[in-house]
Amino acid sequence: MQPVDMTTFLLRRLVFMALTVLGAVTVTFVLANLVPADPARAALGPDATEAQVANYRRERGLDQPLLVQYGRYVSAMLRGDLGTSIVSRAPVAGDLGKFIPATVELLVPSLVISVVFGFVLGVGSAFFRGGVVDQLARFVSLLGLSMPVFWLGLVLQLVFFRWLGWFPAGGRLATVLSPPPNVTGFYTLDSLIAGNWQTLQSSLIHLVLPAVALATLTLGIVARMTRSSLLDVLSSNYVRTARSKGLRESVVLWKHALRNAAVPIVTVIGLRLGQMFSGAVLTETVFAWPGVGRYAFTALKQLDFPVVMGFTVWATIIYALVNLLVDLSYTVIDPRVRLE
Amino acid sequence: MVERLGRLLLALTLGLVSLALAAGDPTTLTVALSGNVETVDPHTASSRAVPFLENIYEPLVGLQGPTFELSPVLAESVDVSDDQTVYTFHLRPGVEFHDGTSLTSEAVVYSFERVREIKKGPYWAIAYLDSVEAVDDLTVRMTIRPGGPPFLQAVSMVGIVSPTAFEAGATADDKWAESWAAGNTAGTGPYVLAELVRGDRFVLEAFKPYWGGWEGPHFSRSVMLLVPEMATAQLMLERGDVDIAEQVPSDALDSLRANPAISVIERDGGVRVLYLNLNAAAGPTADPRVRKAINYAFDQAAFLEASGGSFTTTDGPVPSEFLGGYKPEIPYATFDLDEAKRLFAEAGQSNMTLDVYFTTGDQPQELAAQVLQAYLGQIGVTVNIIAQDFPAFVRAITAWGTSERSASDENFRMANFLYTPPRMPDAYAYLWYMYHSDAQGGLGRNQGFYHNQAVDDLITAGALAVDEATRQESYRAAVDLIVEDAPQVNIGTQRMIYTLRSDIGGFYIHPTWYPAIRAYPLYRTN
């Protein structure tokens, strides 16, 4: 394909994104209706009478043909209405608006931790290959990759909460405090906006353990990826050329090698980011963190279809967006990459 | 530079740490709830949420102490007609709702009408209610059809709401304010819902004009945190971040008992029983000899031990608490593989396969199925253990009601687990919901299609009886007949265990299905 300008590229990608979201919604809708369970029954429980169940179906349009239900859902979705939760009767869009910031607030520091430390460890171990740093980095990444996050979470709680008492075990805020007035949904930012230092401190300290727990897996992946990608590049001809020109080792590393090694690292980070965004269910459960992953997981167990569908829409959009960002970042990292 | 940064970080950390340690507050009760409370509407909430809501909404009569005796709450007294069909409630004067309005008979009528109209939550319990009317400002008359559950027990499940607040929350297409009431409250209870952060916490604050008064020690605030991970709740309890943990891992109980800062409060003989229903209508289990054989092959002692002390023995079809202490003789309750083998052979089923359904994630059910599998395997009976998600399980057991009831039907089930009937502290709930023919599918939990006309007649006679002695007599006779038919395996009775900080006073376990954590009677002792 011919190289295109940025606007055309973005437009094309956005159209594809819309199609992807529609596809995901369709598939989820069909799957949800294939599950051998009755959402009306599930919502009302085994004690409800047949009349109660029928009444409920009529109220929610569940007695309509599937195609009609699908059409209604999609047209409402386009207006930004994701329906109301069967279980709680709260609008799904509003719920997502409350639970997504909690997850993102946890995710950002965790991503920063994992990228910074993972990158440093990876570079260190590639540069001092086989040395102490390399061994240490290998151990840390192996630990991060193989330790189940809920187990690590419990160990962190045991050590830093139960024994040392440095950090709280769970939640977003101390129980004596009320959340700051809602502006962004991020307790830290909202505390800053409200100028409330108490809630800022409390929300920061509540972030530490879950963010560290969530960061370990990504940290391990980033470290391993950085190491192998960098080693590849360091053994290539142009690095040998650069070295033979007499360039200092730091210049070779930072100016020549790293930039070329970055593409696969960014790809991996993008993939992990998508997964983390769509909910760190286990971390959120262990740390009693009211995030979107736990919200969706609870809904799934209760067959709360509108919530499951709404979550699917969100997760699809996030994945598509992150992919787009990753693709765009390639052009920045490597000028040879062209938009097609 | 680096040194300065280090010092800054240290200062910040110490600052944060000191804040974390200063979390305790003597006037606040902090509770770690294990399950989610999805709605605060007392008329749509599941039975799981109702006990929690009793902090906010109160019934006319209710279970107040650690017994099954009903006591007056919003009604000071009740007159019951001789035929027990007309109930006249005399309301407590001077009771105020959280929205500032007064409790009148109109509010009672509104609350019951709302339950009848929206047909959710406690509707099943008051299905026998014919009419509810205000006689004067503080008198309400309710008329019922006879033959239903004990009516005052049913009344205890309906929280009274403020019509003024609810009508203000109603919209054109939501006449009974269901959306509003899912996140807002207006009751008469000792606590007001001050803050609701969904999926995170409920904050209750003392309602100063509460009719019960605030004499003596009480908590002025209560924070109910949702802590889904039991191990986390345990750690929070040990550190004193929470005062009560609703659930902790069962293997942590021994270390908690040894901890002087923590009280482990336990109660045997609860009323939450786990049964394995056997299909009495079709398949090999339609033969009572096969059902008895399965009973003989179930080693209850092995199950109780494997459950780590979280279950105790059963009394039979109905807990003895509801039968005046009566426990029927159950010959097949003893573990006897030889007898089981003999009965299987007699019924011509020595190589049968038993499909046992359990709800995914329910450990006691899975454990009981495994115990059954191990012993039945020794005498040539294969047990297939089949996991099913709760929603699919609910659909399957209710779809049974419309099935052909034959082994070839797609909804056919041979055996599945069941916890006690819906929450109502009376023998009627067990007998009618689990053994009456009308409770097959749809309304009721007679999931094994058990049918015995004599049992049906005795249950109905008991429900219609006006005096307690006749009622008890009918119910006990029904229990004896059920025991003879062996429609189920009695797996075990769940023990009730609560863990709390030792400085919490006033705590008792109510022996009901899902015990409430009521903040009002509690206080801090030091």
Q: Which residues contact B297 (CB under 8 A, 6 or more apart)?
A: B335, B337, B340, B372, B375, B376, B379, B381
Kindly determine whether residue A37 and residue B395, on different chains, have CB atoms separated by under 8 Å.
yes
Q: Is some CB atom of chain B closer than 8 A to the CB atom of A203?
A: no
CB interface of B with A, residues 82-141, below 8 Å: 119-120, 123-124, 127
Asked whether B147 and B138 are in contact (CB, 8 A), the reply is: no
Helix extents (H) in B91-215: 105-118, 151-155, 163-169, 178-181
What residues of A are in contact with residue B442 (Cβ under 8 Å)?
49-50
Q: Is some CB atom of chain B closer than 8 A to the CB atom of A166?
A: yes
Kindly determine whether residue A162 and residue B239, on different chains, have CB atoms separated by under 8 Å.
yes
Confidence of residue B122 (pLDDT cuts 50, 70, 90): confident
Confidence of residue B24 (pLDDT cuts 50, 70, 90): low
Asked whether A242 and A191 are in contact (CB, 8 A), the reply is: no
Angle at B457 between CA B456 and CA B458, to 5 degrees: 95
Q: Is some CB atom of chain B closer than 8 A to the CB atom of A298?
A: yes
Instruction: Let me know how long chain A is.
Output: 340
Which residue, among B12, B31, B38, B175, would best test binding to A if mutated, counting the most A CBs under 10 Å from its CB? B38
B174: three-class secondary structure by DSSP: strand
In whole angstroms, give the CA distance from residue B111 to residue B42.
10
From first to last of its 340 residues, what are the pLDDT tens digits of chain A? 566 788 888 898 889 988 998 999 899 888 887 776 677 777 676 666 777 778 878 877 888 888 998 998 889 888 888 888 877 778 899 889 989 999 999 999 999 999 999 999 999 898 888 888 899 888 888 888 888 888 999 999 999 999 999 999 999 999 888 889 989 999 999 999 999 999 999 999 999 999 999 998 889 989 999 999 999 888 888 888 888 888 888 888 887 888 888 888 888 888 888 777 665 888 998 999 999 988 888 888 777 888 988 998 888 888 888 888 888 888 888 777 666 6
Give the residue from chain B lying closest to A178, CA to CA.
B195
Q: In chain B, what are the helix, strand and coil shares in percent, each to the nearest 5?
A: 35, 20, 45
Q: Is the pLDDT of residue B243 over 80?
A: yes
A292: three-class secondary structure by DSSP: helix
What residues of A are in contact with residue B10 (Cβ under 8 Å)?
none
**pLDDT given at position A239:** 84
Q: Which residues contact A206 (CB under 8 A, 6 or more apart)?
A: A167, A168, A170, A171, A172, A173, A174
Confidence of residue B407 (pLDDT cuts 50, 70, 90): low
**pLDDT given at position B147:** 84
What mean pLDDT value characterizes chain B? 87
Higher model confidence: residue A164 or residue B251? A164
State the count of interchain CB pairs (< 8 A) between A and B.
Answer: 173
- Dump the DSSP string for B203-261: EEEE-TT-TT---SS--SEEEEEE---HHHHHHHHHHTS-SEES---GGGHHHHHT-TT
In whole angstroms, give the CA distance from residue A113 to residue B268.
49
Q: Which of A88-92, B164-168, B172-176 has the least mean pLDDT?
A: A88-92
In whole angstroms, give the CA distance from residue A303 to residue A39.
6
In whole angstroms, give the CA distance from residue B520 to residue B65.
12
Closest-CA distance of chain B to residue A52, Å: 6
B89: three-class secondary structure by DSSP: strand
**pLDDT given at position B155:** 94
- β-pairing, B75-80 vs B70-72, is unpaired
Which pair of structure tokens corresponds to residue A215? Answer: 């960061």
Q: Is the pLDDT of residue B23 over 50?
A: no
**pLDDT given at position B253:** 87
Closest-CA distance of chain B to residue A105, Å: 15
Q: Interhelix angle for B453-464 vs B427-435, to 10°?
A: 150
Main-chain phi, psi angles of B149, to 5 degrees:
-65, 160
Which residue, among A31, A47, A298, would best test binding to B if mutated, counting the most B CBs under 10 Å from its CB? A47
Closest-CA distance of chain B to residue A228, Å: 31
Confidence of residue B400 (pLDDT cuts 50, 70, 90): low
Q: Is some CB atom of chain B closer than 8 A to the CB atom of A185?
A: no
Q: Is some CB atom of chain A closer than 8 A to the CB atom of B21?
A: yes
Q: Which residues contact A334 (CB under 8 A, 6 or more apart)?
A: A259, A260, A262, A263
**pLDDT given at position B223:** 93
- For chain A, count helices (H), then strands (E): 15, 0
Measured from the Cβ of residue B83, the count of other Cβ atoms closer than 10 Å reads: 9
- Using one digit for the tens of pLDDT, what is the confidence trace for B107-116? 999 999 999 9
**pLDDT given at position B4:** 57
Q: Which residues contact B64 (CB under 8 A, 6 or more apart)?
A: B71, B73
Kindly determine whether residue B239 and residue A165, on different chains, have CB atoms separated by under 8 Å.
yes
Which pair of structure tokens corresponds to residue B49? Answer: 């949420």
Higher model confidence: residue B398 or residue B255? B255
Q: Which residues contact A296 (CB under 8 A, 6 or more apart)?
A: A279, A281, A307, A308, A311
Q: Is the pLDDT of residue B3 over 70?
A: no
What residues of B are in contact with residue A176 (Cβ under 8 Å)?
23, 25, 28
**pLDDT given at position A340:** 62
Which residue, among A88, A149, A301, would best test binding to B if mutated, counting the most B CBs under 10 Å from its CB? A88
Q: Is the pLDDT of residue B13 over 70?
A: no
Q: Is the pLDDT of residue B409 over 80?
A: no
Q: Which of B42-46, B99-103, B180-184 has the least mean pLDDT?
A: B42-46
Confidence of residue B397 (pLDDT cuts 50, 70, 90): low
**pLDDT given at position B514:** 64
In whole angstroms, give the CA distance from residue B203 to residue B157.
23
Q: Interhelix angle for A305-333 vs A6-34, to 10°?
A: 150
**pLDDT given at position A106:** 94
- Using one digit for the tens of pLDDT, what is the confidence trace for B68-95? 889 999 999 999 999 999 999 999 999 9
CA distances from B316 to B269, B328, B414 (A): 12, 7, 21
In whole angstroms, give the CA distance from residue A170 to residue A287.
4
Kindly determine whether residue A169 and residue B239, on different chains, have CB atoms separated by under 8 Å.
yes
* Virtual torsion, Cα A250, A256, A257, A261, nearest 10 deg: 140
Q: Is the pLDDT of residue B14 over 60?
A: no
Nearest to A199 by CA among A208, A209, A186: A186
Side chain identity, residue B404: E
Q: Interhelix angle for A292-301 vs A305-333, to 10°?
A: 140
Which pair of structure tokens corresponds to residue B327? Answer: 């426990």
Asked whether B322 and B149 are in contact (CB, 8 A), the reply is: no
In whole angstroms, give the CA distance from residue B160 to residue B163.
9
Q: Is the pLDDT of residue B21 over 50?
A: no
Closest-CA distance of chain A to residue B253, Å: 17
In whole angstroms, give the CA distance from residue A176 to residue A183.
21
**pLDDT given at position B513:** 64
Measured from the Cβ of residue A197, the count of other Cβ atoms closer than 10 Å reads: 12
- Using one digit for the tens of pLDDT, what is the confidence trace for B153-165? 999 989 999 999 9
Confidence of residue B22 (pLDDT cuts 50, 70, 90): very low
Confidence of residue B20 (pLDDT cuts 50, 70, 90): very low
**pLDDT given at position A129:** 85
Give the residue from chain A lying closest to B194, CA to CA.
A178
Asked whether B243 and B505 are in contact (CB, 8 A), the reply is: no
**pLDDT given at position B483:** 97
- Using one digit for the tens of pLDDT, what is the confidence trace for B328-383? 999 999 999 999 999 999 999 878 999 998 888 788 999 999 999 999 999 989 99
With 0-12 / 13-18 / 19 or more C-beta atoms within 10 angstroms meaning exposed / middle / buried, residue A190 is: buried
Which pair of structure tokens corresponds to residue A7? Answer: 């606007």
Kindly determine whether residue B445 and residue A49, on different chains, have CB atoms separated by under 8 Å.
no
Nearest to B504 by CA among B29, B22, B24: B29
Confidence of residue B212 (pLDDT cuts 50, 70, 90): very high
Which residue, among B21, B50, B179, B198, would best test binding to A if mutated, counting the most A CBs under 10 Å from its CB? B198
Look up the pTM and report it.
0.82
